[in-house]
Chains A and B, each alone.
Chain A
Amino acid sequence: MEEKRHTSLHYEKELQEIKNSLIYLGALTEKAIQDAMKALSERNSEMANKIIKDDDDIDKLDTELEERCIRVLALRQPTAIDLRFITTAIKITGHLERIGDMAVNIAEKAIQLNQEPQLKPYIDLPRMTDLVTTMIKDSLDSFINNDLERAEKVRRMEEVIDDLNEQIFRELLTFMMEDSKSIHRALLIMQVSKNMERIADHTKGIADMVTYMITGENVRHQTREIS
């Protein structure tokens, strides 16, 4: 549905700029996660260090975005869809900032793992990475295009990630039981997987906010039916 434009074109521009910044922030976090996985699979600690350093940019953009949203709240006193848009934007930027932190966590684990021989080839983790970056993209697309279906798709993918995470846990447990020397590395990889799973949680958080923004209904904290 095409929205009518605001009478105030400045206001219109402020909202558009918030959208643009969120897309940019989303792109930064996607790249951070992809790079963190690369740092791990290609055993590239230099790349990992760069991710840790670049996280400052994500934090800065998050702060800026939040301030911009607060300014709109204070000066424009948005109502209805505009109010839901701004509150959603504030939440989304918070989620993206946390996703950036997860990328840093993964990069730190990669640095540690890279100092030891590789425990096993990484197969499921790159798959998880592809999935969660798609989830970030989809959750933001759903926000930009008011796309309920895409938000729902993100929620469905989150379940796939949960399953993958469990599978990785089980596999690593067998490694640990067979060889106690593998425990340290296995635990680090588990934490990488756990971080991926938390990233997926954050994208689900974004999707839930988008659903709220579009419908006005709060779907957070609803337990899914177990089929």
Chain B
Amino acid sequence: MDANMIISLHNVNFYYGPSRALNDISMDFPEKQVTALIGPSGCGKSTLLRLLNRMNDLIIGTRVEGKVLFEGKDIYDGHVDPVEIRRKIGMVFQKPNPFPKTIYNNIAYGPKLTGANAGDLDALVEQSLKQAVLWDEVKDVLNKSAMNLSGGQQQRLCIARALAMKPDVLLMDEPTSALDPISTAKIEELIEELKKNYTIIIVTHNMQQAARISDSTAFFYIGNLIEYNKTEKIFTNPDVKQTEDYITGRFG
């Protein structure tokens, strides 16, 4: 792999109170590629994802060991501002969670907080919605509530909202599990488009989705990274038997 590694984990352990959810994880995420995280429920995918932009800080009693480097710098260093990290490493969740505001303000809210000037906002809203392939559907109703959008549209709005912060990395936790097949296809198409400019790390329970959209796939099992490989390799001929048993749906 010649790609630049934008995020690197070195021997990372993660604890919720006394219980360890991730064991000695070392892995690199290539820039401007899609990496899929797969594995059975409870194996630590969401934990790992949240660890990458310090979302886990918001859960009390958690603890990280090891190093999480973003562009070579440890994001858990004392003087690093977690808010700044979360701006650069945006997140999209399983259930679309628009703010109960207008479509326009859903996008403009974050940039306003971080001091974008009002004149630039219109352009930023338009650009973000276009990037999320939502603009044509909502350009005439920007001042209507976001809550009136369909689930698939809401999810693209959340992606637009994340993009408006001009992140480098997008973390997505099962972003299509609540969506119908057409909306899912739209999001997948969008991901393919976005990876030209962004690094995307996505958790999914849909094996076919991981196979379709990702360049690399990491398989986790009870807090351990079992196999991390090119997606094509994982889905045609994985190196580890456990991976094969999982993706082919054999008894655990």
Contact = CB atoms under 8 A, between A and B. Distances in A.
Contact size range, B: 10 to 19
A48 B248 CA distance: 45
Interface stretch (B94-102, B103-111, B169-177, B233-241): B233-241
Contact size range, A: 10 to 19
B208 A11 contact: no
Contacts of B247: 79-80
B238 A80 contact: yes
Nearest to A217: B237
A78 B248 contact: yes
Interface in A42-87: 77-84
Q: Is the interface of B mostly helix, strand, loop or mixed?
A: helix
B188 interface: no
A68 B183 CA distance: 31
Interface stretch (A1-9, A25-33, A150-158, A179-187): A1-9
Given A4-B245, A84-B236, A79 B251 contact: no
A216 interface: yes
B236 A7 contact: no
A85 B178 CA distance: 33
Given A77-B208, A79-B207, A79-B211, A4 B236 contact: no
B235 A8 contact: no
B237 A6 contact: no
Contacts of A8: 249
Contacts of B244: 80-81
A91 to B, nearest CB: 15
Interface centre among B208, B248, B251 (most CB of A within 10 A): B248
A200 to B, nearest CB: 28
A3 B250 contact: yes
A11 B249 contact: yes
17 contacts: A6-B250, A6-B251, A7-B249, A7-B251, A8-B249, A77-B208, A79-B236, A79-B248, A80-B237, A80-B243, A80-B248, A81-B244, A81-B248, A82-B248, A83-B235, A84-B236, A215-B237
Interface of A: 3-8, 11, 77-84, 215-216
